[in-house]
């Protein structure tokens, strides 16, 4: 339906902003079929070229995946840089990844996506400027041929294997610490970072300088960080934030997610944060649960945290079969009850020692 198109376009706008671009305008085409050469059809492509020229836009972002040939043709006709949705998402991940592993995983996904689109791009690659779609592996690597990309993919996979082995060792030393692990999951922008920032204040040695980065942007966090918090009964636990989920996550990134969400698999409790003020919140919950089941995290104890209650006047008809609580992280509504629920749910599950 049209509503879905506009929702999806709105999400694309947020993604583009997260990548640091300024949106000059948006346009939507109603068409039953895709054009092999231009995706949108040559007539519409010419219209788009005129629009881009009038707006002085240097980049055009498509809310779909494009083929190498389509990108080449669209760039020729519009004289602008053409980027598709997946490239945009990958670019955001590249700029947000902090750990070596996170960076490698994103590069792996980028290399795979690019190598599948090399056909038709040819010499085009060398004249692409900086900015979106070029971050991560860097311009130099874009110029090398498919064979070199293949080799790079093999190298990255080898390095990732090595890192994963080391992490195994780190994890078992943490298991010995015997602290329960709680993981925040949920759709992008639901308030996970804000909640984490509140929760860590409960820790005895809370240090303000360690506050995590909060931004009204997508993907404020990519890499897993473990923090300490204290329960009302005075015992400690570990808390971790996860990357925000969005709809239509590129397939190759699901693979990258598996490792960045590894900690979730070992969590004793998941806090599934939901933005109650978003009219699509049920869909967002389903999307998050689908990703969780895709990475093999199904049978976890879950506390649903319906956040931003202040934005719905503290009223909502919530129907889930799992334990839930309605809070406002920014107004601190129900926060103490929330901490008590975390304690209750953790006490029901004795920490498994690996």
Closest separation in Å from C-beta 311 to ligand GDP: 5
Q: Of 125 and 271, which has the nearer Cβ to ligand GDP?
A: 271
Closest separation in Å from C-beta 101 to ligand GDP: 20
Angstrom distance (rounded) from CA 320 to CA 286? 12
Closest separation in Å from C-beta 204 to ligand GDP: 24
Q: Of 81 and 192, which has the nearer Cβ to ligand GDP?
A: 192
Closest separation in Å from C-beta 275 to ligand GDP: 7
**Cβ(226)–Cβ(262) below 8 Å:** no
Strand pairing of 226-230 and 236-240? antiparallel
Q: Of 134 and 328, which has the nearer Cβ to ligand GDP?
A: 328
Closest separation in Å from C-beta 220 to ligand GDP: 5
CB atoms within 10 A of CB 329: 26
Angstrom distance (rounded) from CA 326 to CA 334? 7
93: CB partners within 8 A, 6+ apart: 102, 106, 109, 219, 222, 253, 256
Closest separation in Å from C-beta 22 to ligand GDP: 19
Q: Of 125 and 222, which has the nearer Cβ to ligand GDP?
A: 222
Angstrom distance (rounded) from CA 354 to CA 351? 9
Closest separation in Å from C-beta 284 to ligand GDP: 11
Q: Of 78 and 197, which has the nearer Cβ to ligand GDP?
A: 197
Q: Of 45 and 220, which has the nearer Cβ to ligand GDP?
A: 220
**Cβ(212)–Cβ(221) below 8 Å:** yes
Task: Output the furthest CA–CA distance in the chain (Å, rounded).
Answer: 67
Closest separation in Å from C-beta 63 to ligand GDP: 21
Q: Of 68 and 244, which has the nearer Cβ to ligand GDP?
A: 244
**Cβ(295)–Cβ(257) below 8 Å:** yes
Closest separation in Å from C-beta 20 to ligand GDP: 17
299: CB partners within 8 A, 6+ apart: none
Angstrom distance (rounded) from CA 254 to CA 49? 34
Q: Of 70 and 188, which has the nearer Cβ to ligand GDP?
A: 188
Q: Of 119 and 213, which has the nearer Cβ to ligand GDP?
A: 213
DSSP structural state of residue 248: S
**Cβ(109)–Cβ(255) below 8 Å:** yes
**Which residues contribute to the site for ligand GDP (CB under 6 A)?**
186, 188-194, 214-216, 220, 244, 307-308, 310-311, 328-330
Show the DSSP H helices in the chain as ranges.
Answer: 2-18, 42-55, 68-78, 85-96, 100-115, 139-143, 146-177, 192-199, 251-260, 262-265, 281-294, 335-348
């Amino acid at each position: 339906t049209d509503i879905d198109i506009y929702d999806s376009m709105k999400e694309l706008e947020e993604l583009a902003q997260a990548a640091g671009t300024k949106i000059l305008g948006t346009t939507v085409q109603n068409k039953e079929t895709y054009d092999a050469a231009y995706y949108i059809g040559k007539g519409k492509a010419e219209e788009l070229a005129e629009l881009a020229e009038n707006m002085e836009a240097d980049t055009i972002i498509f809310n779909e995946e494009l083929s190498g040939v389509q990108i080449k043709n669209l760039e020729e006709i519009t004289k602008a840089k053409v980027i598709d949705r997946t490239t945009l998402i990958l670019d955001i991940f590249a700029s947000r990844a902090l750990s070596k592993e996170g960076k490698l995983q994103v590069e792996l996904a980028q290399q795979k996506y690019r190598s599948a689109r090399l056909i038709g791009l040819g010499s085009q690659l060398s004249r692409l400027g900086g900015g979106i779609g070029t971050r991560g592996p860097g311009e130099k690597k874009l110029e090398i041929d498919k064979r070199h990309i293949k080799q790079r993919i093999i190298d990255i996979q080898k390095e990732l294997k090595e890192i994963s082995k080391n992490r195994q060792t780190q994890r078992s030393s943490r298991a010995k610490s015997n602290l329960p692990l709680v993981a925040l999951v949920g759709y992008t922008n639901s308030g996970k970072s804000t909640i984490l920032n509140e929760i860590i204040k409960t820790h005895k040695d809370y240090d303000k300088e360690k506050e995590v980065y909060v931004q009204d942007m997508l993907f404020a966090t990519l890499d897993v960080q473990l923090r300490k918090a204290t329960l009302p009964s005075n015992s400690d636990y570990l808390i971790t934030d996860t990357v925000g989920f969005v709809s239509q996550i590129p397939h190759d990134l699901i693979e990258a997610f598996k490792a960045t969400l590894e900690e979730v698999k070992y969590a004793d409790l998941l806090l599934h944060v939901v933005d109650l003020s978003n009219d699509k919140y049920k869909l967002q919950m389903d999307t998050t649960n689908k990703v969780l089941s895709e990475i093999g995290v199904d049978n976890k104890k879950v506390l649903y945290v319906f956040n931003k209650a202040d934005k719905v006047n503290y009223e909502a008809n919530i129907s889930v079969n799992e334990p839930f609580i309605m809070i406002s992280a920014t107004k601190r509504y129900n926060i103490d009850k929330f901490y008590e629920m975390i304690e209750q749910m953790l006490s029901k599950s004795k920490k498994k020692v690996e």
